[in-house]
Structure 1
Amino acid sequence: MPDGSSTVRLPGEHSPYWIHYPLDIRQQLRLLAQRGERVLLWFGPNESIVSSVLEVGADGQLLLDIGPDRRTNDRLLQLSELWLTGFMDGVEIQAPIGPLRPATHAGLPAFACPAPQRLHRLQRREFHRMPIPAGHKIRCTLPTPDQPPRTVAVELLDISLGGLCLVDPGIPGLVLHNGVTVPQCNIVLEGLGSFTVDLEVRHVESHPSRSGQVRHRVGCRFVQLPAGAQHLVQRCITQLELDRRALSA
Structure 2
Amino acid sequence: MTAATEPGLAPIDLPDAERYQLRAPREVLRVLHALVDGRALISAHLLPGGLSCPTALLEAGPDGVLLDGNRQDAINQRMAAANQVLCVSQLDRVRIQFRLHRLQRVPGDGPATFAAPLPSSVLQLQRRELYRLELIPGPVTTVLVPPRHEGQAPLQARVVDISGGGVALAIGEEDQAHFPPGGQLDACTLELPDGGRPIPVRLQVAHTSRRQQLARHPVRVGCRFVDLPASAEQRILQFIFRVERQRMARERGVV
Range of TM-score over shorter length: 0.5 to 0.7
Q: TM-score, normalised by structure 1?
A: 0.55
Match of 1:54 in 2: 58
Match of 1:74 in 2: 77
Structure 2 residue runs of 5 or longer lacking an equivalent are 132-144, 155-163, 168-177, 209-220, 228-255
Output the CA distance in 1 between the equivalents of 2:94 and 2:113. Answer: 26
The 5 Å alignment of 1:89-168 reads: 89-103=92-106, 108-126=111-129, 161-162=165-166
Structure ranking higher in helix proportion: 2
Q: Aligned pair 1:199/2:203, yes or no?
A: no
Cα distance, 1:219 vs structure 2: 3.5
Cα distance, 1:90 vs structure 2: 0.6
Cα distance, 1:204 vs structure 2: 8.5
Match of 1:28 in 2: 31
Structure 1 stretches of 4+ moved >4 Å: 147-151, 220-226, 228-231
Cα distance, 1:5 vs structure 2: 3.8
> CA-atom RMSD, angstroms?
4.3
Cα distance, 1:4 vs structure 2: 6.2
CA separation of 1:39 and 1:195: change in aligned 2, threshold 3 A:
same
Q: TM-score, normalised by structure 2?
A: 0.54
Cα distance, 1:13 vs structure 2: 6.2
Cα deviation, 1:25-66, whole Å, max 9, x if unaligned, reads 11101110011111111116763111111111232x100111
Output the CA distance in 1 between the equivalents of 2:204 and 2:30. Answer: 29
Output the CA distance in 2 between the equivalents of 1:200 and 1:54. Answer: 43
Match of 2:45 in 1: 42
SS of alignment partner, residue 11 of structure 1: coil
SS of alignment partner, residue 128 of structure 2: coil
SS of alignment partner, residue 125 of structure 1: helix
Output the CA distance in 2 between the equivalents of 1:220 and 1:3. Answer: 49
Cα distance, 1:196 vs structure 2: 5.8
Q: Given that residues 11 and 120 in structure 1 are in contact (C-alpha distance below 8 angstroms), is that contact kept between their aligned partners in structure 2?
A: no
Output the CA distance in 2 between the equivalents of 1:62 and 1:29. Answer: 9
Match of 2:5 in 1: 3
CA separation of 1:226 and 1:32: change in aligned 2, threshold 3 A:
closer
Q: Given that residues 162 and 221 in structure 1 are in contact (C-alpha distance below 8 angstroms), is that contact kept between their aligned partners in structure 2?
A: no
Output the CA distance in 2 between the equivalents of 1:42 and 1:87. Answer: 15
Q: Given that residues 9 and 43 in structure 2 are in contact (C-alpha distance below 8 angstroms), is that contact kept between their aligned partners in structure 1?
A: no
Output the CA distance in 1 between the equivalents of 2:30 and 2:106. Answer: 22
CA separation of 1:148 and 1:14: change in aligned 2, threshold 3 A:
closer
Cα distance, 1:123 vs structure 2: 1.3
2:27 partner amino acid: D
Output the CA distance in 2 between the equivalents of 1:69 and 1:76. Answer: 11
Query: Percent identity at matched positions?
Result: 20
Structure ranking higher in strand proportion: 1
Q: Given that residues 17 and 122 in structure 1 are in contact (C-alpha distance below 8 angstroms), is that contact kept between their aligned partners in structure 2?
A: yes
1:3 partner amino acid: T
SS of alignment partner, residue 227 of structure 1: strand
Output the CA distance in 1 between the equivalents of 2:206 and 2:116. Answer: 33
Q: Given that residues 39 and 86 in structure 1 are in contact (C-alpha distance below 8 angstroms), is that contact kept between their aligned partners in structure 2?
A: yes
Match of 2:142 in 1: none
